[in-house]
Structure 1
Amino acid sequence: MDDGMMKAVLYDRYGGPDVLYLGRVPRPAPAVGEVLVKVHAFSVNGGELAARAGRLRLVTGRRFPKRVGLDFTGEVAVLGAGVTRLAVGDRVWGVLGRTAGFGSAAQYVTVPAERTGRVPDGLDLVDAAALPVATTAITALRDKAALRPGERLVVRGAAGGVGNAAVQLGHAYGAEVTALARAANLDFVRGLGAHEAVDHRSVRPAELGGFDVVLDTAGSGLEAFRRLLNPGGRMVTIAFDLKRPAASLGYLAASAVHGHGRVRLFSGNPTRADFDDLARHVVEGKLRPAVDTVFPLEKTAEAHRALEAGGVRGKYVVRVV
């Protein structure tokens, strides 16, 4: 019998992956303009690890239980009032908006219809769960950096979720891509289209040469990478140093008005148009999902633990159904 409840990954206190557990919560109903999605899979992202550990508690507060999961793939189960461009049964992917927080690690999730897109035919929904975060790479290179053919691009964290997509897209956009990753992942990033793959632990930034665009996914050591910018160069970061948040954010603000080359910080907040671009890149063969390991829902804590350990190649994905 349907009791109106669903499974969801929860935690009742800040801490390591062990605080996560599989509980039951009321199944949500879509509001006006929203859809209820039956979740097939989601990926694990660095921001939710920081939130779960309590490093963002000034924002996330102390009300528990809390949820995890930022992105998702699945099928539309119920349409909210006013939704006309989607139909029940449509295969979709999406990312919860900035105001929604986390919560896609569950059997169902509600999301504004305009924050979803259709998954291309033939793409498995579990594999597809590695790609919603690629909208961040699209926005970073297309809009924030305005990457042009022939320019030199360096990607920090090139084997990770956003990084691997940036390497693929940089190659597709005609840039000369240098990928920074662990030694064990250099062949992996070369296979994504990197012209040069460098072990970030064995080379100092100053030894890399000059670049037109720097895409950073780490948030630390930004000063050293900013110095690599050629005249007219652009630097984009999707992270700040959580060990020194005040100093890191202060440096980012100062870079906007002092010295050579502003460092642009942004967080992904994709809309329908971004997901349409994502689908087009996939169909055109410019972007493919990179899935490291697939975990079952009840092993979400293991997926968090694996990401914290480092060395991921692409994305850790959690299968719900």
Structure 2
Amino acid sequence: MDDRMMKAVLYDRYGGPDVLSVGRVPRPEPASGEVLVKVRAFSVNGAELAARSGRLRLLTGRRFPQRVGLDFTGEVAALGAGAARLAVGDRVWGVLGRTSGFGSAAEYVAVPAERVGRVPDGLDLVEAAALPVATTAVTALRDSTGLRPGERLLVRGAAGGVGNAAVQLGRAFGAEVTALARAANLDFVRGLGAHRAVDHRSVRPADLGRFDVVMDTVGTGLPAFRRLLNPGGRMVTIALDPEHPAVSLGYLAAGLLHGRGRVRFFSGNPVQRHLDDLAGHVVEGRLRPAVDTVFPLEETAAAHRALEAGGVRGKYVVRVA
């Protein structure tokens, strides 16, 4: 077999999960400052679903085939010039940068060395693939909102990939955590540390009470949740309304004109220091991976279909090798 080629998940048109297939593409070579990672696993993220369906075609364009995969775990297979911080064989994880697009759903990925960190010893690489996006929760809660011990935290989409990490970290940071999730997932989020778990379909936002911090991973109904903030409260969202993204963007832009209580939009773009910080939370027991189901590479389409169906508990992970 030609070792200059590798398996990768591709699609040659926009559409549903069925447009995905496993094909062969040239294996990348690490440029100066890059590392080549032999990918062991990656997770499925909402942004990939939006891109694959064509909802982001203004950004992704019409050149095909296109790739999927945003995060990854694996081992360093080769080093580009200047990438001396790491060694071949190191167990690493990372998230592709905003300018890199997608492409970690493959046997190998070449990334800048500053975009990877070492996976904690003893953490399985497949399970670890559920965690790189948790850097978003760390930064949103600790850095963007400044969550403090004793404050009341509301997490929307608490059973999802970022939401489950926000519940765990909110509890670890000393907050009183209320988790909104589907009825079937309430025991799951309680097990993550939520003090209170509420079926999001059985309650109006106005009946939830008041909060110091609202962490939103859903993107809909932002004004109603903003009204729940105490004086000096902070709200951060990592999502746009999937059906009306322009409305969400307009609301967030208008919110920049306000002071206290404005809604902040946050999009994770982790580099080494964020990933090393994440590893510290894992080692110290504040955060653990939550894996719903592991799929083989050839069933990436099934993983996309499952995420679109809703109800995930943690992350859907795809094992590459």
- TM-score category by the smaller chain? over 0.9
Write the deviation string for residues 5-64 of structure 1: whole angstroms up to 9, x where unpaired. 000000000000000000000000011111000000000000000000000001110000
Distance 2:2 2:88 in 1: 19
Letter in 2 for 1:162: V
Q: How does 1:246-261 map onto structure 2 within 5 Å?
A: 246-258=246-258, 261=261
- Could you say which residue in structure 1 is the equivalent of 2:30? 30
Q: How does 1:1-321 map onto structure 2 within 5 Å?
A: 1-258=1-258, 261-321=261-321
Distance 2:23 2:137 in 1: 33
Write the deviation string for residues 262-303 of structure 1: whole angstroms up to 9, x where unpaired. 111121100111011100000000000000000000000000
Distance 1:281 1:245 in 2: 33
Give the RMSD, CA atoms, in angstroms. Answer: 0.8
Distance 2:319 2:76 in 1: 17
| Structure 1: stretches of 5+ with no match in the other structure | none
Report the alpha carbon displacement of residue 259 of structure 1 after superposing the two structures with TM: 7.2
Is contact 2:160-2:315 (8 Å) kept?
yes
Distance 1:37 1:246 in 2: 37
Write the deviation string for residues 235-268 of structure 1: whole angstroms up to 9, x where unpaired. 0000111211221100001011147511111211
Structure 2 counterpart SS, 1:15: coil
| Structure 2: stretches of 5+ with no match in the other structure | none
Distance 1:186 1:205 in 2: 17
Report the alpha carbon displacement of residue 210 of structure 1 after superposing the two structures with TM: 0.5
Aligned length: 321
Structure 2 counterpart SS, 1:191: helix
Structure 1 counterpart SS, 2:318: strand
Structure 2 counterpart SS, 1:161: coil
Distance 1:111 1:87 in 2: 14
Write the deviation string for residues 203-262 of structure 1: whole angstroms up to 9, x where unpaired. 000000100000000011000000000000000000111211221100001011147511
Letter in 2 for 1:93: W
Percentage of matched positions with identical amino acids: 84
Report the alpha carbon displacement of residue 66 of structure 1 after superposing the two structures with TM: 0.2
Structure 2 counterpart SS, 1:240: coil
Runs of 4+ in 1 over 3 A off after TM superposition: none
Distance 1:79 1:291 in 2: 30
Write the deviation string for residues 89-142 of structure 1: whole angstroms up to 9, x where unpaired. 000000000000000000000111111100000000000000001000001001
Distance 2:302 2:168 in 1: 28
Letter in 2 for 1:134: A
Distance 2:314 2:176 in 1: 21
- Comparing 258-267 with 99-108, which one deviates more in the overlay? 258-267
Distance 2:258 2:135 in 1: 30
Letter in 1 for 2:124: D
